[in-house]
Amino acid sequence: MESMQRQIPASQEFVLAEGDTSRIILPALLDLAVEAMYLDFRKLLEEAGITDVRPTHGCVFRFVHGDGMRLTELASLAGLTKQSVGEIVDDLAKLGYLERCADPTDKRAKLIRLTEKGRNAQRIGFTLFAQLESDWADTFGADGITALRALLEEIALAKAPAAVPELSRAAATPKPASIP
């Protein structure tokens, strides 16, 4: 993948404590890394023939699986308003990636569920992110990417456990005892 060509004029740089502009604040570095990965992801996604999925759709593809979930649960997991997620769901339903169906436990409620097209796009997306992570390990070193992932998972689990149910489940699963 080619490198990002983002240039920020010196006059727009955020000046850190004591006027040190040689050190970029951590949130800015994280944003730049995320942006770089998403630019590569978008390119690969388009090469895979998925051209109608937008970055905002990611919250649905990340969390919706199996028999689906209610809009309120999806909004809570995504950290977005119910109204915002409702618009994203409407968009994805129009594109054929989602469907709404009756909740078998409450006929008044609707579940949001991926269609076959949606499950295929989700599978491709997860595969592409795994490929990008592997590419980054090749480029920046496997040990560094493994350590970065471990640290980010630790931070996410400590600071936003509700936003990472995958990690919460993994942390709650007892590790098998080692045999001496």
* Bridge partners for 103 per DSSP: 106
> Is residue 9 in a domain?
no
* Contact present, 77 and 42 (Cβ < 8 Å): no
Is residue 178 a part of any domain in this protein?
no
In-domain check, residue 175: no
The verdict on residue 17 lying in a domain is no
Give the integer Cα–Cα distance in Å for 160 and 102: 31
Residue 5 has pLDDT above 70, yes or no: no
- In the numeric block, which tokens belong to residue 98? 């989602």
Confirm whether 96 is domain-assigned.
yes
Residue 123 in domain = yes
The answer, yes or no, to whether residue 170 has pLDDT greater than 80, is no
Q: 3-state DSSP call for residue 108?
A: strand
Q: What is the pLDDT of residues 34-81, one digit of tens each?
A: 999 999 999 999 999 999 999 999 999 999 999 999 999 999 999 999
Contact 45, 53 (CB under 8 A): yes
Q: What is the pTM of this model?
A: 0.80
The pLDDT score that the predictor gives to residue 14 is 57
Count of structural domains within the chain? 1
Q: Please give the residue range of the domain that contains residue 90.
A: 25-162
Here the CATH number for the domain that contains residue 118 is 1.10.10.10
Residue 153 lies in a domain: yes
Domain contains 104: yes
